[in-house]
Structure 1
Amino acid sequence: MTNTFRLHVTGRNGRTRESDGQIGASLLAILREAGVDEISAICGGNCACATCHVYIEPASLLPKPRIEETEMLDTLLHQSPISRLACQVVPTAGIGTLKVKVAPEE
C-alpha cells in the first residue's frame, strides 16, 4: 500500500494544480507544501479561525469532522456539505485521489 495520494487543487482564481500528498499529514501542511498560498490559517492550524476552509471531494473518503470543526464550519457563509477545515483533515490509507477547492474568503 502506498503512503501517498493524488491531490487536485483548485485555487480561488480557478488555477488548478496536481501534486502528491503524504498519508498521515494534515491537509493544511500538504497544501502548503504544494505551494497553495491562498490559505492563511491565521490560528496556526488549531481549529480556531476557519481561514483554511476548503471544499473536498469525495468527502466520503475522509473521517467525519469532530464537533469542534463542525461548530467552526457552522459560522461560515460559504459552508457546503463538502466543507472542511484543512487543518483538521488528515488523509488516511486507501485514498487514491482527493479534489480540493479553496473556499471563498469570508
Structure 2
Amino acid sequence: MIEEATTLLKKSDDDFQPLKTPSTKQRKQLSLPKKNKKLVKLIASKKEMIIKSLNNLHEYIIEAGLYTSPEKIKASLFVTEMTYTPPSKKVGNNKEIGKREVKKK
C-alpha cells in the first residue's frame, strides 16, 4: 500500500515538472481546460489514496476494539472540562497555599 502510494505521488509530481521552463508566452498559450483536467486527475488520484488509507485506519481501530462514538467523546471531554480541578500548589512542609489550619479544641 505504501509503495503504491509513493509511486502514485511520484507519477503525479512528474506530470507537473516540465523538462524546460516554458516562457511566459508559452504559459499563456496553455489552455486552462488542459490545466484543469490535469489538476482534477491529480486530486482524484490522491483523494482515492487518502480515502483508502482512512478506511484502513478505521478498520484497524474497529478491530482493535478502540471505537468510541463521536458523541461519547464530545460528552466525555465536556464533563472532564467541567469537573477538572488543577492540583493545588504546595510550599515547604507540604502545606497547601490558601488553606487555613484548623485549631483543635
- TM-score bracket, normalised by the shorter chain, equals under 0.3
Greater strand share, 1 or 2? 1
Query: Whose Rg is larger?
Result: 2
Scaled by the length of structure 1, the TM-score of the pair is: 0.19
Higher relative contact order (CA 8 A, sep 6+): 1
Greater helix share, 1 or 2? 2
Scaled by the length of structure 2, the TM-score of the pair is: 0.19
